[in-house]
Structure 1
C-alpha cells in the first residue's frame, strides 16, 4: 500500500470513523479488564485524561519539521492514567490517544510505521505505571514511560525516516538526536514540576491502590 493511499485513507471520513471506532473499543476494553468495582468511573476518568492530553498537546511550544513537538505537559496527562489506575489501563489509554492523534495529525508512509508512531509510541508511556507503588513512583514511572516512547520513535525513525536524515548524520544518529530534541525538554520540565511535594500529594489522592 503506497504512502499516498495510506495518507488519504486516514485523512478521509471513512478512515477517521474507523479510527474512532477502534478508540471506543479500547476504552471499553479498559473498563472490562480493570478488575476493579468502580471500572465505569475509571473509564470516564481515563476518557477525561485522554481529552486533557489532546488539549495540552494542542498547546505546542515548539513543533519539529518531521513530526514531534514540545507540548504543555501532554505526556504527563497521559501518563497519569497508568499512575492512577495501573499500567494496563495506561497502555490502552496511550494507544487510544495515539489513534486520536493519527486522526488529527496523520503522517504515514507504512502500515508498521503507523502502529509504531501512534498507538505503540503513546501506549509505551503507560509502562511507567509499573513503578507507581514505589517511592517517588510518579517521577520514576514518568521517566520510564518517556524512555519507552523514546525507544519506539527512535526505532521507527531509523527504519522508516532515515532517508530524511540531516547532512552529517546517518539514520541511527539522526533518529537518536532528532527525537531527543523534543522529548527531552518536555520531560525535564515535567520532572522539575513533579518535584513539588504538594503536586505529588494531589495526584496521590486520586490513585487507586493495587
Structure 2
C-alpha cells in the first residue's frame, strides 16, 4: 500500500511539472489572462488514472504553483481563488469522475474542462465584468455574463478541443496508460 501512495505522489509531481511546462507554451494569450495551451493535458491524464480525489489535489497544487511562479493575472483575492485554485481543482475533480474507464480521457477532458470553464465564467462575470470593454469581438458588450462567456469560452473551448485531439492521436499507442491498466498490472 505504501508503494502505491509513493508511486501516486511521484506521478502527481511529474504530471504537475509537465503541466507547468506546457502552461508556458501558449498558442494564443489574451490580454487579461487566459491562453490556449495544453496545460490541462497532464492534470486530466493523472485524474483519469487515479480518480477525482487525487485529481482535485493535483489540480489544486498545479493552480497554486501556476499562481506562485507562472504568469499570474489577478486583481484581488477572489480572482486568485477562483481563477487558479478553484478552476484547476475543479478540472482535476471533474476529469477524475469517470476514472479508469475505456474513454475516461475524453469524458474527463470534457467534464473537467467544463467545470474549469464554469469557475472562470462566474468570476469573470462577477469580478472581471467591472472591467468589461464597450466592444469585444466586434460586438457591443452590455452584459458581464455574456462578456465572460465570450472571453472565457474563446480560450477554454480551443484548449478543450486541443486536448481531445492530442488524446485521440495518442489513444491507441498509450491506451493502457489512459485506462490505468498499467496500474492494475503493478499491484
User: Which category describes the TM-score, using the shorter chain as reference length?
Assistant: 0.7 to 0.9
CA separation of 1:205 and 1:148: change in aligned 2, threshold 3 A: closer
The reply to whether residue 155 of structure 1 matches residue 129 of structure 2 is: no
Distance 1:134 1:206 in 2: 8
- 1:65 matched to which residue of 2? 31
Q: Contact between 1:108 and 1:114, CA under 8 Å: does it hold in 2?
A: yes
Secondary structure at the counterpart of residue 27 of structure 2: strand
- Secondary structure, aligned partner of 2:78: helix
Deviations 1:9-58 (A, max 9, x none): xxxxxxxxxxxxxxxxxxxxxxxxxx775101110110000000011111
Inter-partner Cα distance in structure 1 for 2:21 and 2:58: 15
TM-score, normalised on structure 2? 0.85
Partner of 2:137: none
Provide the secondary structure at the position in 2 that maps to 1:95. helix
Deviation at 1:133, TM superposition (A): 3.7
Q: Deviations over 1:105-127 (max 9, x none)?
A: 23232222211111110111112
Cα offset, 1:135, TM superposition: 3.6
- Asked if structure 2 preserves the Cα contact closer than 8 Å seen for 1:194 and 1:200, the reply is no
Q: 1:59-138 to 2 correspondence within 5 Å? A: 59-71=25-37, 73-103=38-68, 104-126=70-92, 127-138=94-105
* Cα RMSD, aligned residues only: 1.9
Instruction: State the match for 2:175 in structure 1.
Output: 201
Quote how far apart the aligned CAs of 1:194 are.
Answer: 2.1
Q: 1:106 to 1:192 in 2, by over 3 A?
A: closer
The two structures have a TM-score, normalised by structure 1, of 0.76
Aligned counterparts, 1:38-53, within 5 A: 38-53=4-19
User: Residue 206 of structure 1: CA displacement?
Assistant: 4.5
Aligned residues: 174
Q: Which runs of 5+ in 1 are unaligned?
A: 1-34
Q: Is the 8 A contact 2:49 2:100 kept in 1?
A: no
Distance 2:59 2:168 in 1: 24
